[in-house]
Amino acid sequence: MAEKLDETQRKPVIPAYVKALSGSLGGIVEASCLQPIDVIKTRLQLDRTASYKGILHCGTTTVKNEGVRALWKGLTPFATHLTLKYALRMGSNAVFQSALKDANTGKISDGGRFVSGFGAGVIEALVIVTPFEVVKIRLQQQKGLSHELLKYKGPIHCAGLIIREEGLLGLWAGAAPTVMRNGTNQAVMFTAKNTFDGLLWRKHEGDGKVLQPWQSMISGFLAGTAGPVCTGPFDVVKTRLMAQSRSGKYYKGMFHAISTIYAEEGVLALWKGLLPRLMRIPPGQAIMWGVADQLIGFYEKKYIHNIPFQA
């Protein structure tokens, strides 16, 4: 009898597939809005000769030399990457949280939420992020718009050429810093998003309260600010490792890249592209959560709180 009572007192569970779908829809909207900032970030991180004097100079130079369409280079792999990444991130995080919840109350500790986020970040880094970002970065670093002169003609051609020239593992160049970056990012992001929802709006998962899009966007924006600062060096190293081909390798691995960049360019070079990351990631999280929370909230209201439930 006691076991049945515990079951009725558990917090409601939102299925992982609902969270995965909400994340994928948010990713589509985010990619469409923020691709130019990602192109600029990549160009700045690959700039070893200080050709660009900042974000605006990089953007205007790219448009002047290559046309405005160049700011959307790599959009197809970027949009596909974000859609799949958010689906996997949100879904796997939900699975991890479900496994780490208290068996009686259905609640999860802050430590459990942090570990769930890190686990989701590691999975998305290995399964989705690394190969898609390798293709995206190879496309973004190409100068010019003349299709005939470009080495990589598109995302599929790029992936195939990398496999032929560098082997299948070429698509996982920079996997180690990507795992560290994404794991840390998601651990911080999921923990912070839940904290800000509770502090600012008194919203807790499963309570049936649907945040207004602007409320979700504020929480998502704030949650998305800490990760880029903490993981800047991993992101720079990831980009450098992904950009180099096997025939032109300069960095031997994550630690060699960090020490080499520090020795040759100074410590601040490890945070190159931080400002465009802060211009992209927090707004991106705001857009994604603004979309995702609406779908999750709809599910909560329709399929959880329309049936008898003892909170």
Q: Is the pLDDT of residue 105 over 90?
A: no
Angle at 3 between CA 202 and CA 203, to 5 degrees: 5
Q: What is the mean pLDDT of residues 283-303?
A: 91
Closest CA to 192 of 85, 298, 286, 276: 286
How many independent structural domains does the chain possess? 1
Which helix (H) or strand (E) segment holds residue 3: the answer is helix 2-9
Q: Would you say residue 111 lies in a domain?
A: yes
Q: Would you say residue 309 lies in a domain?
A: no
Q: Which residue has the higher pLDDT, 87 or 80?
A: 87
Q: Which two tokens stand for residue 166?
A: 């560098």
Q: Would you say residue 310 lies in a domain?
A: no
Give 137: exposed, middle or buried? Use CB within 10 Å, 0-12, 13-18, 19+.
Answer: buried
Q: Which two tokens stand for residue 95?
A: 């699975």
Strand positions, DSSP E, the chain: none
70 vs 67: CA distance, rounded Å: 6
Q: Would you say residue 168 lies in a domain?
A: yes
Q: Is the pLDDT of residue 217 over 60?
A: yes
Q: Would you say residue 311 lies in a domain?
A: no
146 vs 152: CA distance, rounded Å: 11
pLDDT, mean over the chain: 87
- 230: number of Cβ within 10 Å: 13
User: Angle at which helices 55-66 and 274-299 pack, to 10 degrees?
Assistant: 90
Q: What 8-state DSSP symbol labels residue 70?
A: G
119 vs 108: CA distance, rounded Å: 15
Q: Which two tokens stand for residue 289?
A: 């959560």
Q: Would you say residue 92 lies in a domain?
A: yes
Q: Which residue has the higher pLDDT, 102 or 295?
A: 295
Q: Would you say residue 93 lies in a domain?
A: yes
Q: Is the pLDDT of residue 86 over 60?
A: yes
139 vs 142: CA distance, rounded Å: 6
Q: Give residue-wise pLDDT tens across range 225-280.
A: 988 888 899 999 999 999 887 777 789 889 999 999 999 999 999 999 898 889 88
Q: Which two tokens stand for residue 241?
A: 């490792």
Instruction: Quickly state the pLDDT bin for 223 (edges 50, 70, 90).
Output: very high
Q: Domain limits at 132?
A: 2-304
Q: What is the mean pLDDT of residues 301-311?
A: 60
Give the side-chain half-sphere CA count within 13 A for 40: 25
Q: What 8-state DSSP symbol labels residue 174?
A: T
- SS3 letters for 276-290? HHHHHHHHHHHHHHH
In this structure, what CATH number is given to the domain that contains residue 280? 1.50.40.10
